Amino acid sequence: MRQPLSTLGKIAFWGFLLATIAGIGGNVALILGGSPSRDLLTFAALLLVTTILVITGIRWLQAAAILPGVVLLYLFFTQPFVIQSLDEPKTDPQGGFGHFIGVVILFAIITLAFAASVGQVLQNYHRMGRRDTRRLAPIFSVIAGMTIGTLCIGALSPAAPSATIAAIAPLQAPQVPTGQGVSTAVNMGMAGAPTSLTQLQTPATPTHEDHFTLTAQKAQLALDSGTTVPGWTFNGTAPGPTLHVRQGDEVVVTLVNHLSFGVTIHWHGVRVANAADGVAGVTQDAVKPGQSYVYRFIALDAGTYWYHSHQFSYEETTNGLYGMLIVDPAIPTIHTDIDYSVALHSWNGANNQTLYTMNASDGTLTQKARPGQWVRLRIVNTAETPSGNPQLVTLVGAPFQVVSLDGHDLYGPQPLNETPLPIGSAQRYDLYFQMPTHGSVALVTAADSQHYVRAPALVIGQGTLPARLPTITKWFDLTTYGTPTADPVTNQSHFDATYTITLGNQMGMSLGRSGMTYTMNGKVFPDTGMIMVKEGQLIKLHFDNQTNLYHPMHLHGHVFTVLAQNGQPLTGSPVHQDTVLIPPHASYDVAFVANNPGIWMLHCHNFLHANWGMDMMVMYDVSTPYTVGSASGNFPD
Ligand code: C2O
Ligand code: CU
């Protein structure tokens, strides 16, 4: 049975041995580097087994080596680092061109070793005597048949997720649309205006400065479930670093772009000076690969905010270019022992699945807390909810108050029990509660309008997620919540101008693509027109949603006072938001004081809707040197 290795056998043996050594070396490097990879360990172990099988010289063992050989090729080829490296030889973040050559060589060696081991088996089969042949031929035929079959199925079938490897397609860099129906250069400003938005800067002041650097870079996001999601991130994580500052501070952020396409940072909900608003084609050019850009603004208002790219937001923010910004009040308003923030996000998984995360976890996040402690839990929905519906969340284990919406405090908030909270894309809720004397408090999300799910979840304090999750009851309603109190802007205020904005959807053209479009007053961006305002005016907007979908409408650089829903004035606390969620076939009245000169986007924060047309500008008499369109490559959505 055992015989000396033929030439092919030797090639197979040496090939697998070399690859094993490379695999072990790679493991050692990763373990020393502090990020051991389960996949690479499996890979090296399998290589070792295959090498041993080949060197035995025993025919049937050598034949058996073909199967792990197939698995090895499959494993290797579906590794995210391999896909990424082969896909983008020069810019892959793992190590560029050298890494690419290494990957190709390793791939070649394994393929060669595999081919040689198949050859070796066939050779052995050929040399066999008649007696053996009769006995072994059917076995080898079966093995060969299975191998060929496996290979064919593997080659033809779409990438499937496995327990250890997420076969999620690598991200494709956003493409600048061109061609028919795509604007080349649209200037969003007022030509010949006395002020250019480049003058609308935050001056360097003697106040306290907080400096941060955010580097836009690729990363493989390893989730608790073992799935790895390819992402574009700030500083290698999604959410990016939480920027924690104090009200009144000057925030100075250097954006460094290590991606292969343009990015910006928009400070969502923050009343920045216009030049720092981070909208590609409006307040700046998208920051090119290899370049950097400095944002400087004063954190005027305390509260929960976030940041995200505003260049191809639909692709860039969705795939990880976002993070949280927390502004602590200059004078604390409520006693807080624990201040915790959660970003709800969704990702494209394999096979068109949607993966949901809380911060970087798709399992259970935990946060320590002792009985009796007071917790402020900040929640932001950074996700593109595929259905366009708001994300429903609730808190289980303690009564809670909603103390602020979009970072702005509510007055006299009542305690709630397991009330479902609808969070539109970009909106924030701050919850406030006291830890019970025993047990935990959990934040859970709903997958649909019927059921809460067990993951992702946040568990605060001792214990685990409760065995039974509540059923979904009547949603939180911001129009009746809290206690009325005086507010500078009310329904009775005198408005200098009132604009009606009809939200619609219809088949049409947007960005050169024809299909469904989302419209404002029947038009798609950049033909949606603008809302002209003058400094000091009080402007009322009447949103009339004529679609079957929710639209979280966001205005940059200002804060809305919510006046009425379907014509009914609010009966609870005054509500101030930067993103107002408009239900299907509902209307909302909001008002804002025009107190921040510039050119400001007003758009649906459902990224897909914005991408397909639902954007316009609120305009002061201001010009801009930047343009949106294919000439500059600036596409804010
Ligand atoms: Cu959160 Cu126009 O953006
Ligand atoms: Cu929308």
How much is the pLDDT for 157? Answer: 52
Which atom number of ligand 1 is nearest to the Cα of residue 636? 2
Confidence band (pLDDT; 50, 70, 90) for 77? low
How much is the pLDDT for 110? Answer: 80
State in Å: Cα 355 to ligand 1 middle: 22
Gap between the Cα atoms of 391 and 357, Å rounded:
12
Gap between the Cα atoms of 302 and 300, Å rounded:
7
- The ligand whose atoms approach the alpha carbon of 584 most closely is 2
State in Å: Cα 554 to ligand 1 middle: 7
Contact residues for 591 (Cβ-Cβ < 8 A; gap 6+): 489, 493, 495, 538, 539, 540, 541, 560, 561, 563
Q: Which residue's CA lies nearest to atom 1 of ligand 1?
A: 268
pLDDT at 49 over 60: yes
Which three-class secondary structure state does DSSP give residue 347? Answer: strand
Q: Are 507 and 515 in contact (CB under 8 A)?
A: yes
**Nearest by Cα to 308 from 342, 343, 340:** 343
**Residue pointed to by tokens 């025919």:** 59
pLDDT at 92 over 50: no
User: Tokens representing 317?
Assistant: 């923010």
User: Tokens representing 343?
Assistant: 């970003």
State in Å: Cα 12 to ligand 2 middle: 58
Q: Are 566 and 587 in contact (CB under 8 A)?
A: yes
- Look at 154-158, 296-300, 515-519 and tell me which has the smallest mean pLDDT: 154-158
Contact residues for 158 (Cβ-Cβ < 8 A; gap 6+): 351
- The ligand whose atoms approach the alpha carbon of 382 most closely is 1
Confidence band (pLDDT; 50, 70, 90) for 89? low
Helix boundaries (H) for 65-217: 66-78, 80-87, 96-127, 130-156
Which atom number of ligand 1 is nearest to the Cα of residue 579? 1
Section 209-218 average pLDDT: 97
Q: Are strands 497-510 and 538-545 parallel, antiparallel or unpaired?
A: parallel
State in Å: Cα 603 to ligand 1 middle: 8
The one-letter amino acid code at 346 reads S
Query: Tens digit of pLDDT for each residue in 488-500?
Result: 999 999 999 999 9
Q: CA angle, corner 430, sides to 465 and 240, nearest 5?
A: 80
**Nearest by Cα to 394 from 334, 471, 461:** 471
State in Å: Cα 517 to ligand 2 middle: 10
User: Tokens representing 69?
Assistant: 């050989």
Q: What pTM was computed for the model?
A: 0.75
User: Tokens representing 211?
Assistant: 């400096």
Looking at residue 174, the DSSP 8-state letter turns out to be: P
Query: Tens digit of pLDDT for each residue in 1-27?
Result: 567 778 888 888 888 888 888 888 877
State in Å: Cα 469 to ligand 1 middle: 33
- Look at 1-10, 351-360, 414-423, 519-528 and tell me which has the smallest mean pLDDT: 1-10
Query: Tens digit of pLDDT for each residue in 197-210?
Result: 999 998 777 679 99
- The ligand whose atoms approach the alpha carbon of 554 most closely is 1
- The ligand whose atoms approach the alpha carbon of 637 most closely is 1
How much is the pLDDT for 291? Answer: 97
Torsion of CA 4, 9, 11, 13, to 10 degrees: -90
Query: Tens digit of pLDDT for each residue in 265-303?
Result: 999 999 999 999 999 999 999 999 999 999 999 999 999
In three-state form (DSSP H/G/I as H, E/B as E, the rest C), the secondary structure along 458-486 is EEEECCCCCCCCCCCCCCCCCCCCCCCCC
Rounded to the nearest integer, the mean pLDDT of the chain is: 88
Q: Are 170 and 80 in contact (CB under 8 A)?
A: yes
How much is the pLDDT for 386? Answer: 61
User: Tokens representing 595?
Assistant: 């107190």
Looking at residue 64, the DSSP 8-state letter turns out to be: H
State in Å: Cα 294 to ligand 1 middle: 19
Gap between the Cα atoms of 594 and 604, Å rounded:
20
Percentage of the chain exceeding pLDDT 90: 64
Residue ranges lining ligand 1, Cβ < 6 Å:
266, 268, 308, 310, 426, 554, 556, 601, 603, 605
Confidence band (pLDDT; 50, 70, 90) for 166? very low
Is residue 37 within a helix (H) or strand (E), and if so which, with residue range? Answer: none
Q: CA angle, corner 11, sides to 9 and 17, nearest 5?
A: 100
Which atom number of ligand 1 is nearest to the Cα of residue 556? 2
| Upper half-sphere CA count for residue 543 (Cβ side, 13 Å) | 32
Percentage of the chain exceeding pLDDT 70: 88
How much is the pLDDT for 165? Answer: 46
Q: CA angle, corner 107, sides to 103 and 111, nearest 5?
A: 175
Q: Are 180 and 363 in contact (CB under 8 A)?
A: no
Across the strands, what pairs with 280? 284
How much is the pLDDT for 161? Answer: 39
pLDDT at 162 over 90: no
Q: Are 572 and 482 in contact (CB under 8 A)?
A: yes
Query: Tens digit of pLDDT for each residue in 255-264?
Result: 999 999 999 9
Gap between the Cα atoms of 505 and 547, Å rounded:
6
How much is the pLDDT for 544? Answer: 98
Query: Tens digit of pLDDT for each residue in 441-486?
Result: 999 999 887 899 999 999 999 888 998 999 999 999 999 999 999 9
Q: Are 238 and 219 in contact (CB under 8 A)?
A: yes
Query: Tens digit of pLDDT for each residue in 453-462?
Result: 999 999 999 8
How much is the pLDDT for 130? Answer: 44
User: Tokens representing 30?
Assistant: 């990763």
| Upper half-sphere CA count for residue 238 (Cβ side, 13 Å) | 32
Q: CA angle, corner 234, sides to 103 and 424, nearest 5?
A: 120
- The ligand whose atoms approach the alpha carbon of 603 most closely is 1
Which atom number of ligand 1 is nearest to the Cα of residue 269? 1
pLDDT at 511 over 90: no
Which three-class secondary structure state does DSSP give residue 255? Answer: strand
Contacts 24+ apart (CB under 8 A), 101-110: 106/19, 106/22, 106/76, 107/76, 107/77, 107/82, 109/15, 109/18, 109/19, 109/22, 110/15, 110/16, 110/19, 110/47, 110/72, 110/73, 110/76
Q: Are 503 and 547 in contact (CB under 8 A)?
A: yes
Section 531-550 average pLDDT: 97
Query: Tens digit of pLDDT for each residue in 615-631?
Result: 999 999 999 999 999 99
- Look at 36-40, 200-204, 214-218, 314-318 and tell me which has the smallest mean pLDDT: 36-40
The one-letter amino acid code at 37 reads S
How much is the pLDDT for 163? Answer: 39
- Look at 4-13, 119-128, 162-171, 407-416 and tell me which has the smallest mean pLDDT: 162-171
Contact residues for 115 (Cβ-Cβ < 8 A; gap 6+): none
**Nearest by Cα to 274 from 196, 183, 339:** 196
The one-letter amino acid code at 53 reads L
Which three-class secondary structure state does DSSP give residue 385? Answer: coil
Which atom number of ligand 1 is nearest to the Cα of residue 308? 1
Which atom number of ligand 1 is nearest to the Cα of residue 306? 1
Helix boundaries (H) for 263-376: 313-316
State in Å: Cα 353 to ligand 2 middle: 22
pLDDT at 79 over 70: no
Specify the higher pLDDT residue, 142 or 357.
Answer: 357
Which atom number of ligand 1 is nearest to the Cα of residue 317? 1
Section 366-389 average pLDDT: 91
Section 92-118 average pLDDT: 72
User: Tokens representing 230?
Assistant: 């390819």
Q: Which residue's CA lies nearest to atom 3 of ligand 1?
A: 268
State in Å: Cα 228 to ligand 1 middle: 27
Gap between the Cα atoms of 66 and 362, Å rounded:
36
Contact residues for 64 (Cβ-Cβ < 8 A; gap 6+): 53, 143
Q: Are 265 and 296 in contact (CB under 8 A)?
A: no
pLDDT at 42 over 50: yes
How many of the other CB atoms lie within 10 Å of CB of 579? 23
